[in-house]
Structure 1
Amino acid sequence: MGSVDENYDVIIVGGAVIGSSAAWFLTGRDDFNGRVLVIEKDPNYEFCSTALSAASIRQQFSTPLNIDMSGFGIEFLRNLKRDLDPEVEISFHEKGYLVLATEPGRDILRHNHATQIERGADIIWMEPDELAAKYPWMNTSDLAAGCWGKTGEGWFDAYCLMQSFRKQARRQGADYIDGEVVDVLRDGPQIIGVVLKDGRRFGCGALVNAAGTGGSKLARMAGLEIPVEPRKRCIFVFDCRDAADISATCPMLIDPSGLYVRPEGEFFITGIAPPKDRDPECWDFEVDYSLFDDIIWPGLYQRCERFEAIKVINAWAGHYSYNLLDQNAIIGPHPDVKNFFFANGFSGHGLQQSPAVGRGLSELLVAGRYQTLDMSVFGYERIRDNAPVLELNVI
Structure 2
Amino acid sequence: MREPIRVKDLDPTLREELAGLLNGYDFSNCLTCGMCTAGCIYSDLHKDQDPRKFIRKVALGMREEAENDPFIWNCTMCNRCTVECPMGVNMNALTRAFRGKVERAPGYLQVIADDHIRTGNQMGVEQIDFDETLEWIEEMLQEDLKDPTYKIPLDVPNADFFFGFNAREIKHYPADLQSILNVFHAAGANFTISSKRWDATNICLFTGKDDEFAEISRPMFEEAERLNAKEIIVTECGHAFRSTRVFARDYWQGKPMPVRHIMELYADWIKDGTIKLDKTRNTIPVTLHDPCNTVRKEGVVDPQRYVLSHAVMDFREMTPNREHNICCGAGGGAGAVAESKEMRMIKAKPKVDQLLATGAKIGCIPCHNCMDQFVDMNRHYKLGMKMMHLTALVETAMGLMDEDKQFSH
* Fold match by TM threshold 0.5: no
Which is strand-richer, 1 or 2?
1
Which is helix-richer, 1 or 2?
2
Instruction: Name which structure has the greater RCO, CA cutoff 8 Å, separation 6+.
Output: 1
TM-score in terms of structure 2 length:
0.26
TM-score in terms of structure 1 length:
0.27
